[in-house]
Amino acid sequence: MNNKDQQNDGVTIRDHVFDGIQEYDQKLPNWWLFTFYIAIVYFVIAWFVYYQTPARIPTDGEHIDGQIAVIEQKKNAELESMLASLSDDSLREMSKDATHAAAGKAIFEAKCAACHGLDLSSKLNGMQLPGLPLNDTEWKYGHNPLQIMNIVTNGSPDVTKGMIPWKTQLSPSEIAQVVSYILSKQPS
């Protein structure tokens, strides 16, 4: 024992004072030690189960990817069922319905007007926008309603300078509303 240490009732007291508090050399409490040991055992078991067993628990990313895949399957099934029920005539009828055309106009103004212009002329203050005009009779990839729906859904066939596919950002019903709005603005 150091000459600076003192023995006081079985407790060694160091000659160390900080802010008026004298330091004691005592064991950690048992509850704290048991909690620490249990945490170590839990970590080893969790690590083994998570990384070493074949029936491992999926990560958060894998769980989210699985949920996104299910959503994509439902969306594709909805799109396929909607496309099966759609025809050129049904899309033309939708374009005559004011509620479909109004909903399509709102979506068009939010998503499509940046490239095709608010008036579908592909011009803004006399400047040419990147999209093609949609208010004339000249169509690059087809003018039938189902062809227009296909272009909006899957994008332009020329991926280097065409339109992006909107199927990832719009639902099939929203795409149909946009197409009905575009058709409502077509000259007869």
Please tell me the predicted confidence (pLDDT) of residue 9.
59
Alpha helix ranges (H) inside the chain: 30-52, 60-85, 88-96, 98-107, 113-116, 145-154, 172-184
Min mean pLDDT across 3-7, 24-28, 35-39 is at 3-7
DSSP run (H or E) holding 3: none
Question: Is beta strand 11-18 parallel, antiparallel or unpaired with respect to 123-124?
Answer: unpaired
Residue 151 confidence (pLDDT) above 90:
no
pTM of this structure: 0.57
User: What domains are there in the chain, each with its CATH number?
Assistant: 6-52 (no CATH), 68-184 (1.10.760.10)
Mean pLDDT score, 59-88? 84
Cα 49 to its chain centre, rounded Å, is 30
Residue linked to tokens 């005592």 = 26
Sign of CA dihedral 121, 123, 128, 130: negative
Which pLDDT belongs to residue 188?
62
Spatial separation of the C-alpha atoms in residues 74 and 167, rounded to whole Å: 13
| pLDDT tens-digit series, residues 81-124 | 766 777 778 888 888 888 888 888 899 899 888 888 888 888 88
